[in-house]
Amino acid sequence: MTDPTEQRFPGGSAPGRRRSFSRAELESFRGAEVPDLVGDGVRLLFVGINPGLWTAATQTHFAHPGNRFYPALLRAGILEHAVDPAAGLTEAERDELRARGIGITNLVRRATATAAELGAEELREGGTRLVDTVRRLRPRVVAVAGITAYRTAFGQRRAVPGRQPEPLAGAELWVVPNPSGLNAHETVASLAEAYAGPARAAGLLD
């Protein structure tokens, strides 16, 4: 299988796993999709808003160097080993996530430079698709990373972060902060605390 970071780029192929991309290279991934990272027995399904261009380039969720998702998982104890996703996760790192019962998907499948490029209807359609995904995978807990996107996708204008009062397709539902570096209100420590809640509910932490 071809390493996702060895895909076609403007001007030729990229040798080896890439840790940096030009703006033009990233733009060539606009609209691309990133497969869900799921395995058998998903217990905790994290839901991003949509792939960023760096994520699309590496085919790795939350891969941008400024994203705090994996450092927060490590600090919370959800992951046992540090991972560096900027060049794309290795199969061993993906296997560790699957073995822990962690899955990752997105509300909207197409990649954009920022989530602000998404329309309300697109997010609502993503919410419907997420319900189907949860019914198929049957995780114990779903954690949507982004309160504004969640409110739009599910018509819950007054929703607040944390555990939600109603389940989603039979799964306990949490809304947690977006780990993007653009979310300046959060730190690795605050994200770790927020992610620990759904992880405990899923049985990943004591």
Which domain CATH number covers 52? 3.40.470.10
For the ranges 11-20, 52-61, 63-72, 127-136, the lowest mean pLDDT is seen at 11-20
Q: Which domain holds residue 94?
A: 4-201
- Per-residue DSSP letter, 7: S
What's the CA gap between 201 and 206, in Å, rounded?
9
pLDDT band at 2 (very low <50, low <70, confident <90, very high): very low
pTM recorded for the entire structure = 0.90
What pLDDT, in 10s, does the model give residues 63-92? 999 999 999 999 999 999 999 899 899 999
173 dihedral zone (left: phi>0; alpha: psi -120 to 50; beta): beta
As for how many domains the chain has, the answer is: 1
Tell me if 206 is assigned to some domain: no
- Per-residue DSSP letter, 115: G
For residue 158, what are its two tokens?
A: 């007054």
